[in-house]
Amino acid sequence: MEDSFTKKLSEFDGFTNKKQVSVLYLVIIYSGGKIMSKYVVSSSLRNIGYQVGTQAGVHRFLIDEPVNLRGTDAGPNPVQYLLGAVNGCLAITAESVAKRQKLTLDKFDVRSVGNIARFEDGSSAVDHIKVTITFKADIEGQAKEDFLAETLKKCTVHKTLAPGVKFEFDFIQED
């Protein structure tokens, strides 16, 4: 038996006759000795509330708004995906940094709370993200500071958003 998420995704089979927003693929470009990644994600507005069918590589997912905002609540809203991208990128980067620094990372949980500023013209923007990172690793002192600083520095999503969004971090180290 299909769950409701799988059912909703199966309704959106490709992007034929849909309002195509962009094209999907991942290309690795070699430029000036640097490896650059290019991600293109394809999204189509569906004719059901505010549902947007999105595909990234072989992965399909729905973006929506809650019912009180005239959506169908069939998936997270765009801001929730943004916060999830922050969390996911921080966790993946932490694992990568831990491996490079030869650290054992037993736990790395990320929770983000985003604040939305609303403007007189009716627009809005995420203006503040509070991130709580709870981790377990056998590191103290300067090694811990270096690990956390390197994780923030190397996190692509954080680095992209930081110039325009105020970030606040709480780090909780478990024994």
Q: Torsion-angle region of residue 57: left (phi > 0), alpha (psi -120 to 50) or beta?
A: left
Q: What is the pLDDT of residues 116-132, one digit of tens each?
A: 999 999 999 999 999 99
**At 8, is the pLDDT very low, low, confident or very high (cuts 50, 70, 90)?**
very low
**Does residue 145 register a pLDDT over 90?**
yes
| HSE-CB for 43 with a 13 A CA cutoff | 12
Pick 31 or 76 by higher pLDDT.
Answer: 76
Q: What is the pLDDT of residues 53-81, one digit of tens each?
A: 999 999 999 999 999 999 999 999 999 99
**Does residue 23 register a pLDDT over 50?**
no
Which stretch, 12-21, 28-37, 163-172, has highest mean pLDDT?
Answer: 163-172
Residues in the chain: 175
pLDDT for the residue 102: 94
Q: What is the pLDDT of residues 82-125, one digit of tens each?
A: 999 999 999 999 999 999 999 999 999 999 999 999 999 999 99
Classify domain 78-173 by CATH architecture.
2-Layer Sandwich (3.30)
CATH 3.30.300.20 domain range(s) in the chain:
78-173
Q: What residues contact 174, with CB distance under 8 A and at least 6 apart? A: 107, 134, 135, 136
pLDDT for the residue 38: 85
Q: What residues contact 156, with CB distance under 8 A and at least 6 apart? A: 89, 93
Q: What are phi and psi of 152, to 5 degrees?
A: -65, -40
